[in-house]
Structure 1
């Protein structure tokens, strides 16, 4: 990228000296604005071992787009009128797994690569959200079990790469997706998968491959024509891979690596012995509130998170949900000010320059709700505690699926492969009580354990209000 304004920071190092030491699966905007920038800082300080080879597991457009720009792209951190832009050079290549599979497997197998990171979303791990075990009915997993050397799933690709890797080359897998104990979860699922195709490989993975838990945090909206146009005006050139995100960023990682690792702590990451309190806090307070904003916002016809936060009804609901219901369910790390963290989150949600779409956040609810809301609900109900705001959020999601339209009658676009089966249950029910029972009996989302009858009755009452008067009636009380 030549001819950029002086205010735009560009790589000052020789990119030809970069050695690919990291393979990243899931080459979306989040990775490019998060893990890649932590690594970029280390490279800029002179550690050339950590060039990144990005892998797109589905979309061929992202690798093609990045290749046309020599794998350079810009990241602008923006809040209101304040903005700071830098060009990242850490990405040394980008592969499309379906069409370049052998190159992807060879990269994972290469001894110079000691880290594989991933951001493939919750659904990318082929986990049954109710049982938390490997979903052997996942079409990609079914394919990989019959053709393990031509894998399509995330787990299959990782396992096939490790199978080709020298046993003497240490490897660490760093899951950066929003799952509780994500490293432990990845280990369990990967071993379960490998056990089906290659028992010695499963044993090797279980004993030799490190998978630390981690927690990532940065709001990175998907690129839009508007955001790309804005970035082009700021840069003076067109960057089809431009990312516009918030200034805040956080990465907490357990210091459990099999071999050499980047000194990410020198770039601002927190290395710790236990990431679980940070994970739970972020998963419930940020992600849990985000999901509630998304479904309430979609039902109210509000396109962005900042629009929803500015809406008296939805904004007030989101604030109370976080501060009253969800905050009560988290155990903070020692010395951590959870209330201040909540207020920081709310201020981030109000950032009007991000344009973070409620429709985007609402995607894949059948994967997200079981980890963002249901554990807090289960724990509270087991203690005899009601969470009235969280229960209303759950009802709003179910109504979103059942009605398929906003409160004003506009058709909603629901991007969730697991939604039709649950929506059919809701729509076939004779009344709201039956709808609540039918939904909670949908084991792939809600599990097989019974829910308290009083909770079922409250949920039915919320569904009735939504059916009669939408979000206005639900949140009136």
Structure 2
């Protein structure tokens, strides 16, 4: 049987499976969501469904799709229901949980059902707008709000807000909490700026502009959860057999979840009552520390581990973390080194270590096949953005001599980037296998390797290139020497020996 409202009562009981009550399927529509992607379904909609099951938020989601294709039929057939398979590690224990999510009430196509979407804007129950339209979704355009529909997401949102303003005569109580989750810094502020510009461009009245500013809350937010999406063939078959139903919309997510929402007004917390049911939702006046923790300790650890793991012969993150020596390296890198550099006035060392522990547990997730070569995409720019600020801070603090794992991670990056041009691509080689280097600086690094007489010359030349780092990294006290020492060890003895040597230190 296929998952739908009519079969809920027939689903066999399973302690690992959570299903909605009949009452949850009739809750009012309180959220308008732009996007049907797996991140939204695996994070915001996960929190909303969890709160509904505890009778806290008591509201469902109307989803807006940009087109008439791509799964709306499955949502209709299944009455918006879908299964989230939550898999991973939490507090050292394996989690394998299944949730029938009933947060979505219906999916509307902006292309063919625009008037119905505008009717949702007129609903007294509507309180929240959520979006994930990719980073390219929050852009300025020439949209007219009279278009059916406007082409861009900000254009659609402006039309929705204007419709609501007219329906409620600009009452302050009719304002909405608007939370973009697109992966850009200050996404709420940027979205609001574009909405205001579009309003002026459309020559909308001053009363509406005032209502936008005074009655609505545009909240920047940060999302962090790996949601790979659909289950693969045999896994899907086995899971559906275990649960006793088929589900075209079934997705998998890791256990870890974070939705940090920036807001100081108590009205926002009041509206977003689902935050009460899960510590993964954080509402705070400033969410910068969560961005810093994610960027430095999750992304930064990935970046400084990536090349070394691949050179050691590991294909995936979970494979590397199953190796005790590499696990020890990642722990040393993230907790003994990066966490110390992250700690400061805003983030305590204890907070940084706690986040690092969660990162390590996420890396060990046996259900995720996260490939190191995928992580190496745009390697140089990631190293610049994620790690160079921490490297500078750590070494300039006088503790550089203790940053052996950072130095080895950077040296491994240099060796990983050693390549030969083959046609239009640059190919590296490790453990008897070739790999494609997907980095816009591949040609620069390849040329420096060819020109360098020895590891010391290579390190000096790379660190001095302001085109790569926007500054001369040779000026960081002790860093060039430490990287050179590790690169010499890597080239002479190999990655596994260099890894063992670091652990001994």
TM-score bracket for the superposition, by shorter chain length: 0.7 to 0.9
Whether contact under 8 Å (2:303, 2:375) holds in the other structure is yes
RMSD: 4.5
Residues 1:29 and 2:38 aligned together: yes
2:248 to 233, 236, 240: 240
Residues 1:86 and 2:96 aligned together: no
Residues 32-41 or 20-29, more deviating: 20-29
Whether contact under 8 Å (1:293, 1:318) holds in the other structure is yes
Residues 1:286 and 2:298 aligned together: yes
Whether contact under 8 Å (2:178, 2:218) holds in the other structure is yes
Which residue of 2 is the match for residue 422 of structure 1?
441
1:419-464 deviations in Å (ceiling 9; x for gaps): 653334334544445872587515xxx5xx4243245846984778
CA distance in 2, matches of 1:221, 1:88: 17
Which residue of 2 is the match for residue 138 of structure 1?
none
Question: Map of 1:208-227 to 2, 5 A cutoff?
Answer: 209-225=216-232, 226-227=234-235
CA distance in 2, matches of 1:342, 1:298: 21
Whether contact under 8 Å (2:227, 2:253) holds in the other structure is yes
Q: Based on CA coordinates, which of the two structures has the bigger radius of gyration?
A: 2
Q: 1:364: how far off?
A: 6.4
Whether contact under 8 Å (1:40, 1:88) holds in the other structure is yes
1:453 to 471, 474, 478: 474
2:387 to 353, 373, 379: 373
1:125-149 deviations in Å (ceiling 9; x for gaps): 77xxxxxxxxxxxxxx5xx535576
Q: Normalized against structure 1, the TM-score is what?
A: 0.73
CA distance in 2, matches of 1:100, 1:367: 41
Whether contact under 8 Å (2:465, 2:471) holds in the other structure is no
Whether contact under 8 Å (2:219, 2:263) holds in the other structure is yes
CA distance in 2, matches of 1:154, 1:365: 31
Unaligned runs of 5+ in 2: 420-426, 453-457
Which residue of 1 is the match for residue 50 of structure 2?
41
2:431 to 402, 408, 411: 408
CA distance in 2, matches of 1:164, 1:30: 28
Whether contact under 8 Å (1:323, 1:339) holds in the other structure is yes
CA distance in 2, matches of 1:439, 1:377: 16
Q: Normalized against structure 2, the TM-score is what?
A: 0.70
CA distance in 2, matches of 1:154, 1:64: 22
Question: Map of 1:293-304 to 2, 5 A cutoff?
Answer: 293-294=305-306, 296-298=308-310, 300=312, 302-304=314-316
CA distance in 2, matches of 1:120, 1:368: 23
Q: 1:284: how far off?
A: 2.2
Which residue of 2 is the match for residue 311 of structure 1?
323
Counterparts in 2 of 1:402 and 1:74: CA distance versus 1, 3 Å: farther
CA distance in 2, matches of 1:271, 1:341: 18
Unaligned runs of 5+ in 1: 127-140
Counterparts in 2 of 1:118 and 1:458: CA distance versus 1, 3 Å: farther
Residues 1:173 and 2:186 aligned together: no
Aligned residues: 447
